[in-house]
């Protein structure tokens, strides 16, 4: 089959690789019909993750059709309305891999699954404990082959495949694999009360879904912050957000002025700083090196904490992997803030959000700006990375 | 002189103690999740024969006896005289608070022989013994909780 392989910093290649096969009894094989490039893929592309190996297959937003089921795939996942899976079913695949039977899965903390990361030992050295395995996202989170390919192997298929009803296009449901639930959980983490104002830093695809979700959850006002004109425009036109360009205004002052001096009730960092702290050995040096490269990024979290109203909530969907410098702990503590974060518990949100799509509450395809064949992946990564041609979201068709 | 190597590791497994005890009690199950074991053959209620990988594609073998056995609580074993590497260990099962599974603790001890082979074995077990027993225990947990051991070995990838 053809697959998008990471070959080094700023280098991906579409290669012919062996077709995936069933390895464990609960595996399934999916023939992929649509797949996307995520903003977080760019950090792998940029070469910031030392646990990438040449030849690794990228991609964690994908969907398709079941072509093979392992002998141990159990019937009747309640998140699939108890319906058994069958060859030929059209499915979406959450980017977090979850076993469905550990302490964390039982508490619907799916992205914290105990059993899906075969390289848990690597993460434990850094974080104390390992979160779930992820598709196509470095060996730190399992080294699973990703879904920017013609086929993919999906472990724990009985827990990790969601059937899609007829009548919905790939583009309407593809983002249920990551960015729509990620934006939604981030909005939920804002603990929104009626009449609240939410400020969201970052108008990439996750930020766009967070804006829409914040309104779904009862926010009165959403203020979106970015510097890329077309992203701010999308936030305004599609998301109905008020917008601030941080290159043009002092965001902290502007937010105060817009909220009668009190500050937003909750703030969201939908930017993150993945470039920091990826190392295992000699991490400190790498962090310092990365910090030099990424000096503006921790500013988002700092700025958000300082801007948030007293007693408010800080939601962090943006990905962090290591340490940050100069966390304004004084502001955080003395203003009595709460922080909520985490990789998305995809399995918790997928079906309720699918119902929102079915009901017509939202059509997630609004973020797509580019559609390209899988073969054009090297070009697609360049377009997306450099935001060429007003690029916001790329879908690849195998 | 090689020092004895003693390691201990605890992990909570989301299954009742009785189920975990039963699975472990059949030592022939151990190679499913203990990476350095090639095979274990149970000979009678007390004695078993163990074969483990050694450096340079070799193996080391020994007989072990169960030295203590408390149903659903503890199993202890010890190699008998003549083992390539003297070793002993026990596993303890303790219900976690609020019925949240079972706290499983494994303690193993190796006494590598003197000489070149001994040094090689000490190196094999000594590089990261806690890591090794921790990984074995994690695979035991995966197998008991999910019915399989998560892996990417044998999956598709580009060359290299």
A266-312 pLDDT, tens digit each: 999 998 764 332 334 335 445 544 554 443 356 788 889 999 999 99
How far does the CA of residue B6 sit from the closest CA of chain A (Å)?
Answer: 20
Q: Are A254 and A246 in contact (CB under 8 A)?
A: no
Which class is A179-341 in CATH? Answer: alpha beta
B157 and A57 within 8 Å at the Cβ level: the answer is: yes
Q: Which of A54, A102, A153 sits opposite B160 (nearest CB)?
A: A54
So what's the pLDDT on residue B116?
64
Pairing relationship of beta strands B102-111 and A151-154 according to DSSP bridges: unpaired
Segment B20-31 shows an average pLDDT of 97
Contacts of B141 in chain A (CB under 8 A): 114-115
Write out residues in chain A with pLDDT < 50, as ranges. Answer: 274-282, 284-285, 288-289, 292-296
**A373 touching B, CB under 8 A?**
no
Segment B107-136 shows an average pLDDT of 74
Contacts of A264 (CB under 8 A, 6+ apart): A197, A198, A199, A223, A255, A307, A308, A309, A312
So what's the pLDDT on residue B55?
72
Contacts of A18 in chain B (CB under 8 A): 156
pLDDT at B146 over 60: yes
**A23 touching B, CB under 8 A?**
yes
B156 and A17 within 8 Å at the Cβ level: the answer is: yes
Q: Are A61 and A13 in contact (CB under 8 A)?
A: no
Segment B63-92 shows an average pLDDT of 95
So what's the pLDDT on residue B8?
93
Every domain of chain A and the residues it spans: 2-178+344-397, 179-341
Give the up-direction half-sphere exposure of residue A258: CA atoms within 13 A in the CB hemisphere: 23
So what's the pLDDT on residue B127?
59
H runs (alpha helix) in A238-369: 251-258, 283-293, 297-307, 329-334, 346-359
Q: Quote the CA–CA distance of B86 and B54 in Å, as a whole number.
A: 14
Tokens 């949100």 identify what position?
A: A349
> What is the sign, positive or negative, of the torsion defined by CA atoms of B35, B41, B44, B47?
negative
Q: Quote the CA–CA distance of A390 and A227 in Å, as a whole number.
A: 13
**A53 touching B, CB under 8 A?**
yes
A72 and B148 within 8 Å at the Cβ level: the answer is: yes
For A36, the enclosing helix (H) or strand (E) is strand A28-37
Q: Are A308 and A196 in contact (CB under 8 A)?
A: no
Question: What is the torsion angle, in degrees rounded to the nearest 10, for the CA atoms of residue A381, residue A141, residue A148 and residue A33?
Answer: -140
DSSP 8-state class, residue A149: B
Q: Which of B101, B150, B154 sits opposite A103 (nearest CB)?
A: B101
Determine whether domain B5-146 maps to CATH 3.40.190.170.
Answer: no
pLDDT-derived band at B123 (thresholds 50, 70, 90) equals low
For A243, the enclosing helix (H) or strand (E) is strand A242-245
Q: Quote the CA–CA distance of B140 and B26 in Å, as a whole number.
A: 13
So what's the pLDDT on residue A321?
76
Both tokens of A386, joined, read 């450099």
Q: Please name which of B63, B34, B8, B28 lies closest in space to residue B135, comparing C-alpha atoms.
A: B34
- CATH no. of A2-178+344-397: 3.90.180.10
DSSP 8-state class, residue A135: B
Between the alpha carbon of residue B84 and those of residues A328, B3, B117, the distances in Å are: 58, 16, 10
Segment B116-141 shows an average pLDDT of 76
pLDDT at B13 over 80: yes
pLDDT at B101 over 50: yes
For A219, the enclosing helix (H) or strand (E) is none
Q: Which of A80-94, B42-56, B83-97, B108-122 has the lowest mean pLDDT?
A: B108-122
So what's the pLDDT on residue A293?
45
A23 and B155 within 8 Å at the Cβ level: the answer is: yes
**B150 touching A, CB under 8 A?**
yes
Q: Are A359 and A216 in contact (CB under 8 A)?
A: no
């Amino acid at each position: 089959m053809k697959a998008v392989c990471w070959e080094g910093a700023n280098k991906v290649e579409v290669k012919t690789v062996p077709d995936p096969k069933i390895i464990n009894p609960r595996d399934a094989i999916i023939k992929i019909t649509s797949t996307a490039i995520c903003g977080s893929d760019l950090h792998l592309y940029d070469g910031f993750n030392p646990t990438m190996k040449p030849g690794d297959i990228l991609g964690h937003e994908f969907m398709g059709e079941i072509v093979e089921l392992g002998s141990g795939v159990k019937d009747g996942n309640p998140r699939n309305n108890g319906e058994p899976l069958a060859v030929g079913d059209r499915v979406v695949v959450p980017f977090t891999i979850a076993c469905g039977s550990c302490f964390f899965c039982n508490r619907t903390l799916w992205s914290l699954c105990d059993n899906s990361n075969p390289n848990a030992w690597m993460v434990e050295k850094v974080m104390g404990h390992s979160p779930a395995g992820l598709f196509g996202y470095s060996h730190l989170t399992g080294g699973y082959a990703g879904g920017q390919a013609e086929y993919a192997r999906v472990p724990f298929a009985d827990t990790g495949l969601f059937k899609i009803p007829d009548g919905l296009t790939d583009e309407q449901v593809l983002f249920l694999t990551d960015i729509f639930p990620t934006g939604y959980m981030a909005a939920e983490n804002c603990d929104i009360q009626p009449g609240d104002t939410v400020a969201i830093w970052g108008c990439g695809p996750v930020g766009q879904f967070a804006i829409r979700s914040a309104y779904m959850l009862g926010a009165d006002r959403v203020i979106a912050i970015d510097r890329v004109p077309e992203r701010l425009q999308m936030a305004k036109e599609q998301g109905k957000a008020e917008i601030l360009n941080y290159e043009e205004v002092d965001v902290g002052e502007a937010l105060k002025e817009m909220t009668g001096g009190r500050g937003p009730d909750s703030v969201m960092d939908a930017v993150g700083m993945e470039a920091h702290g990826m190392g295992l050995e000699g991490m400190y040096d790498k962090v310092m090196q990365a910090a030099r490269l990424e000096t503006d990024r921790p500013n988002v979290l700092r700025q958000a904490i300082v801007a948030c109203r007293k007693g408010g909530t800080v939601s962090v969907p943006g990905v962090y992997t290591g340490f940050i410098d100069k966390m304004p702990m004084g502001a955080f503590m003395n203003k009595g803030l709460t922080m909520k974060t985490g990789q998305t518990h995809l399995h918790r949100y997928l079906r309720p959000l699918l119902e929102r799509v079915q009901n017509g509450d939202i059509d997630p395809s609004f973020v797509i700006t580019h559609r390209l064949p899988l073969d054009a992946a090297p070009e697609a990564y360049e377009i997306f990375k450099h935001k060429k041609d007003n690029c916001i979201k790329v879908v690849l068709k195998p | 002189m090689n020092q004895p190597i003693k390691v201990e590791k605890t992990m909570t497994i989301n299954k009742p103690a009785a189920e975990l005890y039963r699975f472990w009690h059949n030592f022939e199950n151990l190679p499913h999740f203990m990476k350095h074991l090639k095979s274990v053959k149970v000979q009678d209620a007390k004695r078993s024969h163990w074969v483990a990988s050694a450096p340079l594609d070799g193996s080391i073998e020994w007989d072990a006896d169960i030295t203590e056995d408390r149903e659903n609580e503890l199993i202890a074993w010890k190699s008998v005289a003549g083992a390539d590497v003297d070793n002993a260990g026990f596993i303890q099962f303790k219900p976690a608070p609020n019925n949240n599974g079972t706290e499983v603790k494994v303690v193993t001890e190796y006494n590598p022989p003197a000489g070149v082979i001994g040094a090689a074995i000490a190196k094999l077990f000594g590089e990261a013994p806690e890591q090794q027993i921790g990984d074995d225990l994690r695979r035991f947990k995966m197998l008991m909780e999910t019915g399989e051991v998560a892996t990417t070995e044998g999956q598709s990838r580009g060359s290299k």
